[in-house]
Structure formats: C-alpha cells, structure tokens
Amino acid sequence: MTNKLIVGEGCKEIPACAGIWLMRIIPAIDIIDGKCVRLSQGDYNQKTVYNEDPLEVAKEFEANGIKHLHLVDLDGAKSSHVVNWKVLERIAGQTGLHVDFGGGVKTDEDIKVVFESGAKQVTGGSIAVKDAATFEGWISRYGTDKIILGADAKDGMIATHGWLESSELEVIEFIKEWNKKGIEYVICTDIAKDGMLAGTSNELYKEILSQPLIPSRGRETKNGNPFPIGEMSAGQWGLKLIASGGVAVIEDLYRLREMGCEGAIVGKAFYEGRITFKELREFV
C-alpha cells in the first residue's frame, strides 16, 4: 500500500513516495485606505500602491487557480481595531477564496465582525502578546482550525502593533508556548525580509520545525497511545507553519516546501512580476 501525506485544509492526498509536499501558496493583499499596497520591512513610510481596488486583485488571483488569500488590515494594525472590514466583505462575498484576515483584531467584537464579514480564519499577533487570555479564549471558542498565531520576528524577538513596537519575547519560545495552549497554525514573518525580495529566513523556519513540542489539546495521543513529551518535532507533530517575508523567486518556494512548511505567503514577488502564475502551476 502506498503511504499518503495529507497536507493542509483542502489539499489532495498524494503519494509520499512521489517526493512532493503540497504547500499552499497564499498571496497577500495589504490594505491601507481601502487600497492594495505593499510596505518594505513594515515601514508605513515605504508604501507602494499596486491597485486602487483589492477586489480586482483578488479576482485575478482566483482566476489563476489561487485558493487562499492573506488579507491584512494595515490601518487596523496601526489603530488597534479593525478598519477595513468592508474590503474583506467584498472579497469574501464576490470570490470563493479562503481568506485569513489579520490586522487590528483586538476584541471579541472585532473577531465577530471579521468572521461575519466572511473570513475563514483570523490571525492574531499583538493580541497574543498583550492580551493572552482573550486570544486563548478565541482558540477555545472558535477552534484551532480558525485561529492563526501571528509570530512577527524582528532580530529574533516578537514585534507587535503593525511591527511598530518590539517585545522581550523570543520567537521560538513564543510559538512553543502557544502550541501548548492549542495553536496549530502559525504565520511567521521575518520583518527584516518582508517586502525586500531578498530571500526567505530558511534557518529560522528550520529551527521552528525542528523544535520538540509538548502536545497541545487534542493531540496528546496517537492511536490511543500517549507520546512522551518532546518525542516528536514541531514538523512531525503537524505544526502548520506558514512562512512569510522575502519570497523573491520560485526557488524560494521550492526550498520552503522541501523543509515542510504548510504554506508560503507571497506579496511583492507577485506584484513585481518576479513569480508568475505559470510557474506556480505545480503548487495550485
């Protein structure tokens, strides 16, 4: 019998012997003033507007076989409350894209609005640092398949509030602590790489995926038999790591796939034509 790998929501079964790990390609649409923009290293003063209408961009992605979208409310991230929920509502209502939404989701009302506006998943970063009890409550209420941990790294430490503030939390330990509380999906962004088209933080991602993790809720056993703590690595446990920042060429995606990333967020490389939809056919 041929072994199978099941990789990610909505992915097909493929033969493990084929040597191919299905990795989700997730384009990013960042929103400021209702427009599709990209920043460099999270600097709001280094902004490029790529399209006045994010819905138009989302429809183009979908027309080319893309299934997922990472939608970021940069106004919300800066102001600490959701601002561009109507953009989410339009995209979710007029495309079939699986949208994960982040930026400014800080309260129970914020997350309610985001899900009611059509998001399939919500990414929380600053809230996991500043109000851990609320974020943990969301994991319990909505489920681990709906909540993504945003781990934004600056010099190995967690940054918050649209990357405008730094914390004293080390990124690896931050992810491990939230894994203990049930988190499975993690978007990890190296801020120094973001928007720079300079390659991805492969060593950081390898380190994350090699960490011995304590099983989180619902994963304490396999086939009824308990795993000893630390027996398996993050990647083996199925920690769904989504790499973000620095993707410049198709080879970057091959490397991320080889190391076992669940997905890769691609931004400026799409908008600048560094990666084409034709090149992505094997991924989508």
- Coil, strand or helix at 180: helix
Catalytically active residues, by annotation: 30, 152
277 within domain boundaries = no
Examine the pLDDT at 40 and tell me if it is beyond 80: no
281 within domain boundaries = no
Question: Nearest-CA neighbor of 155 among 193, 212, 211?
Answer: 193
Q: Which of 94-98, 200-204, 270-274, 279-283 has the lowest mean pLDDT?
A: 279-283
Q: What is the pLDDT of residue 177?
A: 92
279 within domain boundaries = no
Residue 227: Cβ within 10 Å count: 15
Examine the pLDDT at 225 and tell me if it is beyond 90: no
Domain span holding position 53: 21-271
- Quick: pLDDT tens for 170-185: 999 999 999 989 999 9
Measured CA to CA, the distance from residue 120 to residue 23 in angstroms comes to 18
- Quick: pLDDT tens for 45-71: 888 999 999 999 999 999 999 999 999
Specify the pairing of strand 157-160 against strand 165-170.
Answer: antiparallel
Q: Could you identify the residue written with the tokens 């909540």?
A: 147
At 228, the pLDDT band (50, 70, 90 cuts) reads very low
282 within domain boundaries = no
What is the percent of the chain with per-residue pLDDT over 90, rounded to a whole number?
Answer: 61
Question: Nearest-CA neighbor of 73 among 122, 108, 116, 112?
Answer: 122
280 within domain boundaries = no
Specify the pairing of strand 98-102 against strand 121-124.
Answer: parallel
Under 8 Å between Cβ of 165 and 130 = no
How many structural domains comprise the chain? 1
Examine the pLDDT at 235 and tell me if it is beyond 90: no
DSSP 90: H
132 within domain boundaries = yes
pTM of this prediction exceeds 0.85 = no
CATH number, domain of 70, equals 3.20.20.70
Mean pLDDT over residues 17-28, rounded?
A: 73
Q: What is the pLDDT of residue 6?
A: 28
Mean pLDDT over residues 74-87, rounded?
A: 94
Mean pLDDT over residues 78-105, rounded?
A: 97
278 within domain boundaries = no
What is the percent of the chain with per-residue pLDDT over 70, rounded to a whole number?
Answer: 78
Under 8 Å between Cβ of 158 and 178 = no
- Quick: pLDDT tens for 252-281: 999 999 999 999 999 999 999 999 999 988
- Coil, strand or helix at 272: coil
Q: Which of 100-104, 138-142, 221-225 has the lowest mean pLDDT?
A: 221-225
208 within domain boundaries = yes
At 168, the pLDDT band (50, 70, 90 cuts) reads confident
Examine the pLDDT at 194 and tell me if it is beyond 60: no
Measured CA to CA, the distance from residue 173 to residue 114 in angstroms comes to 28
DSSP 278: T
Q: What is the mean pLDDT of the chain?
A: 83
